[in-house]
Every structure is written in C-alpha cells, then in structure tokens.
C-alpha cells in the first residue's frame, strides 16, 4: 500500500452564473460549493450531509468529473481529474462510478437490464466476457444471473437499486459515489441496500462517498462526515463524534429530524 | 364522527385494503405508517371518496352517521373540503401552476360555502397567517413557482383548511421537504389540529415525523392493520413482528457504524419484500418474512387481539400467549 489517498479533494469551489435580472446589471453568481476539502482511503466511507441547495450534488458531479470546478482539485489515486485530457479521463473513469437516487430514471425501460448493466463496459471499449461479467455483477448484488434478460419494470424498487449498483461495480471501480442512493426506498429495503453496500466495501475494498440528507443513515454506514450548508462546510470529522456531539446548530436540527423519539 | 367497520377495497379478487376498523373523533391525531403497498394511501383515498373506480368497497364507512361506502360522487362533493380534506405529498403537482395561489385557496370557499370574493379573500388572508406564511397579502397574488417547497406545502394546508374541515388527512406531507422544513410542517399540523379541535390523520413512512405529530398510531402491512395503540407505546414496545422489524431496520444515529473491532455493523433487516397484490399469502400476510412463524401462520389469518384499551395487534403469537 502506498500513502496516496484514494481520493483527495482540495479547496473545491464551484460557482454558477444565474440568469440576468436586468440588462443593466451583471448576472448574479451563486457559489454552489466553496472550499470543500477531504481525503478518503480505500475501504473508507465519507458521508456528505446537507439539504437541497447545500452543494452536495455539485460536489458529486465535480468528483465524477461531469463538470469542472472554478478552483481546487480532485485527485483520484493521486491524479488531478480536471487536469487530464479527455482520453486520459475516459480511461480512468472505470475506477470511479456513481449510483443515483432514482433507479427507474437511470435504467432504460426498453432495454433488458443486462444491456444497461454492461453499458459502462461498452463505454470503455471492452467487448470480452460481457455476459460473464454481467452475471458476476448480478450475483454480487444478490440477484440471479438469469435476471439479465428481464426489463426494469419487472423489478421492485429495491431490486432496481441493486441493478444500478451492479452497473456501477461492473467496471471493478475503486471508488463509488452514491447520491441519495437509498432515499427513495422503504425502510426495510433501505436496510437491505445499506448492508449490500457494506458487503461490497468489505469484499472489494471500495472507497465510498455517500451523499444523503438523513443523518441516521449516514451514521450507520459512514466513517467520517462532512456537513454542508449553502456550499460551505459547517463541520467535518469522525461520524461517531459528529453524531454524538454535533457542534453546529444546523447539524443538531438534522439529527433531531432523524430521531424516532422526539 | 368517522367510523370504519371492516372496510375493504378489492381490485379483482385481491384485497388491497382488508377489514380496516377505525374510529376517529374530533381532536384525535392518528398516525398511519407502513411501507409501499401497505394500503395506507388507499385508506386515505377511501376516506375522501376518491378511491379508484376499479376498487370495489365493502364494509361500512360512516361519516357523521351517514354510510358513505356506496355513496355517489354528488354525496362526496358535499363532504369534501367541508368535513374531510386532504394535503397531498407533492406540493408542486397539487397546485395549478397557472393560477395565483390565492385564487386556488379561495375556490372551495366560493364553491362550497357560497362566500363572496371579498369574504373569501379575507378568510384566505387569515388562513395564510394561521399556517405561518409571511406577507400574506403579497403571497396571495403569487404563483406556485415563486414559492419554496415549504411555503407551497403551507399553501396546500391553507387550501385544505379553507372550509373548516373536521378531519384533515395529510398523506406524506413532509416527504418531499428538507429536514428542518419538514420538522416545522409536522409541528404546524399538530398545532392546527389542537387549536381547531380538528382530527388529523398523518400518513407517513417517516416514523420520526409520526412520533412528533400523533397520539395514536396504526401500523399497516400489505393492506392489513397489523398493530395499533398509543404512538409512544407502539414505538417503544412494539408487539407485532413486522412493527419490530420496521423499527429495527431503521438506522439509529446513536449506534456507531463499526463495532469495537472496527468491523462494519450490519443493520437488522426484514428478509424478502412486500408480496405483490396477486400473490398475497393465504394466512397472515407477513408469513414467509416473519422471523417467529408458527405452523398456523401460513394458512390461518390472525384476528386482531386487544391487549389493552386501544392497544393490540393481529398476530398468532398473541393468541398463543393467552392459551399458555
């Protein structure tokens, strides 16, 4: 093992220009993320907590190199993703994959799920052993290899999220970015998917950035936590510390919302 | 005030709601929890006379002593908004984007209560104040897209209150909202029910929100009411294996993700998934997923057993215990 972290985010800032209010004035600028910084080792999970507008999805898009930051760096295995050529980035992409919130929206309803799961392989130009690797990925997420021939509507919400995870791990990535991956699921299904993610981390040594608005969920799966509000980092630290003794009033509110007993 | 006696809703042969029994009086705050497919929304739609046409209703649904199970749309129109009203989950979808919110809120007052525009406007203003919308005068003239999600939910609550209903049904009112906004909406609904002595049915999969807003709770599974009782008691000492499973599967912010040896702690789960409508088990509908199954569970439907006043569950384990 080297000392290079799996993922290092340094001083990451992203601003968006808003529509002009008037021809005579400059377009207002929204700072969606400001100075975010953390590092993540293999097998570790970082929870990113915040509400809509907090910048957590912006952070995810920057880590995934879907868009470029205005300042700062995203180092994946020591290489700055935003300083690479398109071709270099394309080759590196198999190493980091994303799981989205809505599995129904991210699976093509007219394609058998085996085709959707193999999509990242085709995008990387890989053509060998596709059937075998799809079967392997399906088995890893607790589905049957024969399920590859079915369509998305034949599965329940929880199973569809398993399919989305199978698609994310088929390239054998080192890093998984999960954006509200269990938020749309029922409590009992949510627990099954969280356990699956933990199993995969133990088996494959995956590092994970886990984005959620639910502090209880984050506490159950994350080693460290980053709390965002309006793009700024309010607090960060070991999950145990942040959840037991939150420093910021906003974190306390989130914790209150996550408790069963008032 | 409202009484359900063995109310069932069948789609073809399958009972999506089975023998629901419920008594609601003024000022009651009742939570209904359950996962997708539990029948909780269908139950709410039955109370609003809005169950899908394909659903065949049996049993008794009485509102103000009048049996509404086979009532016509005309009968329902007289009750809706004035006796029972509902707040839906998605505030953006439930408001007409082309109408000013004030006009939307005033519509039922003009329609049902025969108010003049001026009187309706005055009532809308006071409602906006009551539900905590700042600058109500200005807000009445706004369109839904000019408001935040929390404000829109408040508008929907004002709309539901427009004709002073005696029962307000809120179906997942906080699901689409951010945590601190959700807390405030939950508290608002509770306060409104108390101040107006109005009954509140709070439907949610969010146990934390239900715990905050309600006195009593009904747990539903696959169309059955499996457990009920005072909210605090059911959540702290659940009896039905499904309720136990549901509470256990919920991540607890106070439990660390790793144990003392640094191993990741797995969450307790309920194996399998909710059975589809066309494949419901013959006996107890939780059979096959239940960790403590008895021989009779697969074939015999458990009866609802009362363990205390207003407290009980439908589970063979309870009747077994009595035989011992």
Q: What is the domain-level CATH number for residue B117? A: 3.40.50.300
Could you give the residue ranges of the DSSP H alpha helices within A80-212? 86-92, 103-106, 113-123, 130-140, 157-169, 187-204
Q: Is A119 on the interface with B (CB under 8 A)?
A: no
Preferred mutation among A49, A214, A220, A243 to probe B, highest tally of B CBs within 10 A: A220
Asked if residue A1 is part of any domain, the answer here is no
Asked if residue B133 is part of any domain, the answer here is yes
**Are B58 and B115 members of one domain?**
yes
**Are B206 and B228 members of one domain?**
no
**Are B278 and B203 members of one domain?**
no
Asked if residue A39 is part of any domain, the answer here is yes
Cβ separation A222–B268 shorter than 8 A: no
Asked if residue B34 is part of any domain, the answer here is yes
- The whole-number pLDDT of residue A261 equals 44
Cβ separation A258–B208 shorter than 8 A: yes
- Both tokens of A21, joined, read 């209010």
What parts of chain B have a pLDDT lower than 50? 324
- The whole-number pLDDT of residue A176 equals 96
- The whole-number pLDDT of residue B105 equals 94
Preferred mutation among B172, B202, B251, B277 to probe A, highest tally of A CBs within 10 A: B251
Q: Which chain B residue has the Cα nearest residue A253? A: B180
Domain edge (last residue) among B169, B187, B214: B214
- Chain B nearest C-alpha distance from A84 (Å): 35
- Percent of chain B that is helix, strand, coil (3-state, to 5): 35, 25, 40
Whether residue A123 contacts residue A202, with contact meaning beta carbons closer than 8 Å, is answered with no
What would the pLDDT profile of B155-188 be if each residue is shown by its tens digit?
999 999 999 999 999 999 988 788 888 888 999 9
Place of tokens 């980053």: A226
Asked if residue A247 is part of any domain, the answer here is yes
Whether residue A120 contacts residue A167, with contact meaning beta carbons closer than 8 Å, is answered with yes
3-state class (DSSP) for residue B43: helix
- Chain A nearest C-alpha distance from B198 (Å): 22
Residue (of A58, A50, A56) closest to A251 by Cα position: A50
Place of tokens 């377009």: A27
**Are B163 and B109 members of one domain?**
yes
Asked if residue B60 is part of any domain, the answer here is yes
**Are B169 and B39 members of one domain?**
yes
- Chain A nearest C-alpha distance from B111 (Å): 37
**Are B12 and B149 members of one domain?**
yes
- The whole-number pLDDT of residue A103 equals 67
Residue (of B219, B250, B223) closest to B312 by Cα position: B219
Q: What percent of chain A has pLDDT over 70?
A: 97
Whether residue B170 contacts residue B153, with contact meaning beta carbons closer than 8 Å, is answered with no
- The whole-number pLDDT of residue B321 equals 61
- The whole-number pLDDT of residue A258 equals 76
At A38, which CATH number? 3.40.50.300
| Structural domain total, chain B | 2
- The whole-number pLDDT of residue A2 equals 57
Asked if residue A165 is part of any domain, the answer here is yes
Cα separation, B68 vs B6, whole angstroms: 13
**Are B110 and B161 members of one domain?**
yes
Cβ separation B251–A189 shorter than 8 A: no
Chain B contact set for A255 (CB, 8 A): 253
Domain with B298 in it = 224-249+267-323
Could you give the residue ranges of the DSSP H alpha helices within B27-148? 40-47, 73-79, 91-94, 101-112, 117-130, 136-139
Chain B contact set for A158 (CB, 8 A): 273
Which of B232, B246, B258 comes nearest A187 by C-beta?
Answer: B246
Cβ separation A259–B253 shorter than 8 A: yes
262 residues of chain A, pLDDT tens digit each:
557 899 999 999 999 988 888 888 888 888 999 999 999 999 999 999 988 889 999 999 999 999 999 999 999 999 999 999 999 999 899 999 999 887 667 788 899 999 999 999 998 888 889 999 999 999 999 999 999 999 998 888 888 999 999 999 999 999 999 998 888 788 888 999 999 999 999 999 999 999 998 888 998 999 999 999 999 999 999 998 898 888 999 888 888 877 644 3
Task: Confirm whether pTM is higher than 0.90.
Answer: no
Residues 6+ positions from A69 with CB-CB distance below 8 Å: A12, A13, A14, A33, A62, A82
**Are B139 and B195 members of one domain?**
yes
Asked if residue B295 is part of any domain, the answer here is yes
**Are B168 and B286 members of one domain?**
no
Whether residue B228 contacts residue B222, with contact meaning beta carbons closer than 8 Å, is answered with no
Domain with A131 in it = 7-258
What would the pLDDT profile of A59-82 be if each residue is shown by its tens digit?
999 999 999 999 999 999 999 999
**Are B271 and B170 members of one domain?**
no
Asked if residue B64 is part of any domain, the answer here is yes
State the helix-helix crossing angle for A249-258 and B179-196, rounded to 10 degrees: 60
**Are B105 and B87 members of one domain?**
yes
Which of B149, B252, B267 comes nearest A195 by C-beta?
Answer: B267
- Chain B nearest C-alpha distance from A184 (Å): 10
Cβ separation B251–A219 shorter than 8 A: yes
**Are B134 and B236 members of one domain?**
no
Cα separation, B229 vs B235, whole angstroms: 9
Partners of B170 in the β-ladder:
B87, B202
| Structural domain total, chain A | 1
């Amino acid at each position: 093992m080297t000392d290079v972290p799996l993922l290092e985010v340094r001083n990451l800032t992203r601003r968006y220009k808003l529509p002009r209010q008037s021809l005579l004035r400059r377009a207002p600028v929204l700072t969606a993320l400001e100075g975010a910084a953390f590092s993540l080792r293999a097998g570790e999970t970082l929870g990113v907590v915040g509400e809509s507008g907090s910048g957590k999805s912006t952070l995810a898009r920057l880590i995934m190199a879907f868009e470029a930051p205005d300042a700062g760096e995203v180092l994946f295995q020591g290489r700055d993703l935003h300083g690479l050529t398109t071709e270099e980035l394309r080759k590196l992409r198999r190493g980091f994959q994303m799981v989205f919130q809505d599995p129904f929206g991210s699976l093509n309803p007219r394609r058998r799920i085996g085709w959707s799961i193999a999509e990242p392989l085709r995008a990387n130009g890989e053509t060998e052993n596709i059937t075998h690797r799809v079967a392997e990925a399906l088995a890893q997420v607790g589905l049957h290899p024969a399920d590859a021939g079915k369509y998305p509507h034949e599965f329940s919400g929880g199973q569809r999220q398993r399919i989305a995870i199978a698609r994310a791990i088929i390239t054998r990535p080192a890093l998984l970015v999960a954006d509200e991956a269990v938020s749309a699921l029922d409590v009992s299904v949510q627990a099954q998917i969280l356990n699956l993610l933990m199993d995969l981390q133990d088996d494959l040594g995956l590092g994970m950035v886990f984005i959620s608005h639910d502090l209880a969920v984050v506490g159950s799966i994350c080693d460290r936590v980053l709390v965002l509000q309006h793009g700024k980092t309010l607090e960060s630290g070991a999950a145990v510390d942040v959840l037991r003794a939150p420093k910021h009033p906003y974190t306390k509110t989130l914790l209150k919302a996550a408790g069963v007993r008032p | 005030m409202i009484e359900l006696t063995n109310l069932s809703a069948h789609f073809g042969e399958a009972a999506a709601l089975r023998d629901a029994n419920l008594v609601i009086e003024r000022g009651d705050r009742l939570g209904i929890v359950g996962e997708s497919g539990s029948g909780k929304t269908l139950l709410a739609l039955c109370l609003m006379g809005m169950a899908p046409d394909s659903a065949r209703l049996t049993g008794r649904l009485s509102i103000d002593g009048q049996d509404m199970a086979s009532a016509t749309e005309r009968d329902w129109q007289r009750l809706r908004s004035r006796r029972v009203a509902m707040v839906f989950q998605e505030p953006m979808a439930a408001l007409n984007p082309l109408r000013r919110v004030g006009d939307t809120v005033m519509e039922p007052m003009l329609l049902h209560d025969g108010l003049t525009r001026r009187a309706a406007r005055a009532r809308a203003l006071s409602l906006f104040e009551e539900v905590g919308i700042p600058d109500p005068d200005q807000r009445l003239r706004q369109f839904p897209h000019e408001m935040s999600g929390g404000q829109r939910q408040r508008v929907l609550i004002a709309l539901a209150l427009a004709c002073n209903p005696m029962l307000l049904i809120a179906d997942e009112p906080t699901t689409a909202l951010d945590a601190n906004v959700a807390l405030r909406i939950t508290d608002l609904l509770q306060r409104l029910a108390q101040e107006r002595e109005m009954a509140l049915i709070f439907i949610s999969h969010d146990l934390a929100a239900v715990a905050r807003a309600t006195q009593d709770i009904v747990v539903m599974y696959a169309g059955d009411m499996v457990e009920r009782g005072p909210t605090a008691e059911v959540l702290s000492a659940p009896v039905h294996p499904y309720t136990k499973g549901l509470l256990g599967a919920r991540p607890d912010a106070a439990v660390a993700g790793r144990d003392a040896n640094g191993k990741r702690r797995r969450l307790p789960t309920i194996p399998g998934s909710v059975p589809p409508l066309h494949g419901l088990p013959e006996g107890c509908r939780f059979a096959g997923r239940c960790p403590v199954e008895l021989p009779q569970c697969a074939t015999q439907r458990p009866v609802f057993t009362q363990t205390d006043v207003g407290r009980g569950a439908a589970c063979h384990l309870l009747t077994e215990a009595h035989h011992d």
